[in-house]
Amino acid sequence: MAQIKRIGFGQVEPNHLSAQKTGQIYAQLPAASVSDGKLVAIAQLEQGQFLKYNYADGFAGLTGDGEWCLVYCEEKLYDPRKQMHRDFVLRATDFSDGFIYPRLFKTNIGDIYTTNTFGANTSDSAEVAGLTLSVKDYLEVDATTGYLKKAASLANASVPCFQVVKEYTMPDGQPGVKIQRVK
């Protein structure tokens, strides 16, 4: 069993993501929700979160009819001597129009990636407790946050569903897990 806790923001290591070959990468919609009929920007996104690509309503968010897609953006680290993957986060306040336009990867059955993104972080140095995971545990998207959470079973899990296939280490030495989409 691995206790997945981390310092900094979520990381993704794309071991085998088919979207890189199929072109199922979407990046044209703002990360938002609707409140009183208006788009409201999502304040922060981490690598490894999930959003629905809700093209009909014109935004990527936690609601709508779109499919859950993995947030995996090009990292902008301006000083590699002082910054690591865990330092990268997208904040709406960093964008000129106040909206994040994330790059979203469609995941397909069989896709494999390594991550430690299991809960929100608010600062570069805060520690996130995360989850205790074992090989063969199932994970599904928490529709209220976009983060992965444990699923009771494959049969009862929502789509997409992932299985932990290996306890692993992220590039910066923090604990992580390699997961595969199974449903």
Sequence ranges of the domains in the chain: 2-181
pLDDT at 68: 97
* Joined tokens for residue 129: 């407790």
pLDDT at 87: 84
Report the b/e string of 95-125 with b at 16+ CB within 10 A: eeeebbebbbbbbeeebbbbbbbbbebeeee
pLDDT at 69: 98
Q: Which amino acid is residue 150, in one-letter code?
A: K
pLDDT at 84: 84
d(CA 43, CA 93): 7
Distance, CA of 101 to chain centre: 14
d(CA 3, CA 163): 16
CA-closest candidate to residue 182, choices 155, 165, 166, 161: 161
pLDDT at 119: 87
pLDDT at 132: 92
pLDDT at 123: 73
pLDDT at 80: 72
d(CA 68, CA 19): 13
pLDDT at 126: 72
Helices (H) and strands (E) in the chain, counts: 1, 17
Asked if 175 and 133 touch (Cβ cutoff 8 Å), the reply is no
What is residue 22's three-state secondary structure? helix
pLDDT at 129: 79
For the chain, 183 residues long, the average pLDDT of each consecutive 10-residue run is: 88 96 96 93 96 95 94 83 82 94 98 94 76 95 96 95 96 94 98
